[in-house]
């Protein structure tokens, strides 16, 4: 199986750097019946004990939220570039194969609702781009990428506050929320808009991109795309449609932006604690991860503010002015 690497660097345009001849390594299983995020630190990067604790706390949120018995390997770097960014190993699979695997992996009401909007063939896509981690949890036999990791995350710690106990300092960004944003992306969140000249390729998240009930969209035009798992009836979060940000992030900066404060927002919120919400949990659930939290109904927009108590994301978060 050949993998490519999806990369975003600082404020640079999103890009895919093709790497050839990469064969999947053996599948890695966790030591317990739940998801494991294995963190390694780049030898040329320095993290304080508090910063490592913030990364560990973010990892704990993910591990406590999903039960897939696999290990996701992530390398962390600390470079003064942007706020946060990631490079994620990816693979292309036939839509029909991914749909079959998603169907067999369904465990929640959200999964059932999302799959109910899809068919065995798709009007948009013939191929689906998966992260190696996502490919693995869907039972498709993927290992890590050519460097032994599923992705690399960079955190610009000069801009973040790692200590949540006394709030987030003025002009600083909640480090835990930045880490969560980037872990989500290594796990498989994100859009394929603008990434390929092949219009028949998309990502799982693109299967749930709507402009109205029954009206799916796969374009950067307009500003009305949103995440929905019930055929466009419920707007869980509006997608960013600005070329300066990631199309798979949520719209949080730009004209008319009045968003909820969410981990997966395209722009960070200085001085604010940002917790992992039901929106992110639902999104990652329908992207292939087995959610632990009881999930009995389709979340309404107001549930975007339902937060996990005592909280501890191939791309980046942008900065907003304080």
- Within-domain flag for 167: yes
Least Cα distance to 128 among 89, 97, 88, 93 occurs for: 93
> What is the length of the chain?
322
Query: Cβ distance 203 to 129 under 8 Å?
Result: yes
- Within-domain flag for 160: yes
Give 305's strand partners: none
Least Cα distance to 303 among 239, 249, 236 occurs for: 236
The pLDDT value given to residue 33: 63
- Within-domain flag for 235: yes
Q: Tokens for 196, please give them.
A: 């390929």
- Within-domain flag for 292: yes
The pLDDT value given to residue 288: 98
- Within-domain flag for 169: yes
Query: How far apart (Å, rounded) are the C-alpha atoms in residues 34 and 187?
Result: 15
Please give the model's pTM, rounded to 2 decimal places: 0.84
> For the chain, what is the domain count?
1
- Within-domain flag for 322: no
- Summarised one tens digit per residue, pLDDT across range 52-83 is 999 999 999 999 999 999 999 999 999 988 89
Q: Which residues contact 109 (CB under 8 A, 6 or more apart)?
A: 295, 296, 297, 298
Domain that holds residue 161: 4-317
- Summarised one tens digit per residue, pLDDT across range 181-210 is 999 999 999 999 999 888 899 999 999 999
Ranges of the chain with pLDDT below 70: 1-33, 256-258, 293-322
Strand, coil or helix: what is 96? helix
The pLDDT value given to residue 252: 85
Query: Cβ distance 152 to 75 under 8 Å?
Result: yes
Query: How far apart (Å, rounded) are the C-alpha atoms in residues 49 and 46?
Result: 10
The pLDDT value given to residue 218: 95
DSSP notation for 52-112: HHHHHHHHHHHHHHB--S-EEEEEEE--SSSSEEEEEEEEEEEHHHHHHHHHHH--SHHHH
């Amino acid at each position: 199986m050949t993998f490519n690497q999806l990369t975003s660097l600082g404020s640079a345009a999103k890009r895919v750097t093709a790497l050839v001849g990469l064969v999947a390594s053996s599948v890695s299983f966790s030591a317990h019946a739940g998801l494991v995020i294995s963190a390694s630190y780049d030898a040329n990067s320095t993290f304080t004990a508090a910063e490592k604790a913030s990364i560990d706390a973010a990892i704990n949120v993910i591990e406590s939220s999903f039960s897939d018995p696999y290990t996701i390997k992530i390398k962390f770097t600390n470079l003064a570039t942007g706020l946060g960014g990631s490079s994620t190993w990816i693979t292309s699979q036939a839509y029909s194969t991914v749909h079959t695997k998603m169907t067999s992996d369904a465990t929640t009401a959200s999964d059932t609702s999302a799959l109910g909007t899809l068919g065995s063939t798709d009007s948009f896509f013939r191929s689906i781009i998966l992260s190696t981690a996502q490919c693995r949890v869907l039972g498709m036999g993927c290992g890590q990428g050519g460097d032994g990791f599923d992705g690399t995350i960079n955190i610009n710690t000069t801009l973040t506050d790692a200590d949540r106990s006394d709030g987030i300092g003025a002009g600083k960004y909640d480090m835990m929320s930045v880490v969560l944003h980037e872990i989500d992306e290594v796990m498989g969140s994100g859009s394929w808009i603008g990434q390929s000249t092949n219009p028949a390729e998309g990502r799982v998240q693109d299967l749930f991109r709507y402009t109205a009930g029954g009206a799916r969209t796969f374009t950067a035009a307009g500003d009305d795309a949103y995440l929905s798992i019930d055929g466009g009836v419920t707007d869980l979060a509006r997608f960013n449609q600005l070329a300066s940000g990631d199309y798979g992030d949520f719209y949080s900066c730009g004209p008319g932006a009045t968003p909820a404060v969410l981990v997966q927002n395209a722009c960070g919120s200085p001085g604010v604690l940002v917790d992992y919400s039901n929106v992110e949990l639902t999104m990652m659930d329908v992207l292939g991860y087995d959610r632990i939290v009881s999930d009995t109904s389709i979340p309404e927009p107001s549930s975007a503010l339902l937060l996990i108590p005592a909280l501890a994301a191939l791309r980046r978060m942008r900065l907003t002015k304080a």
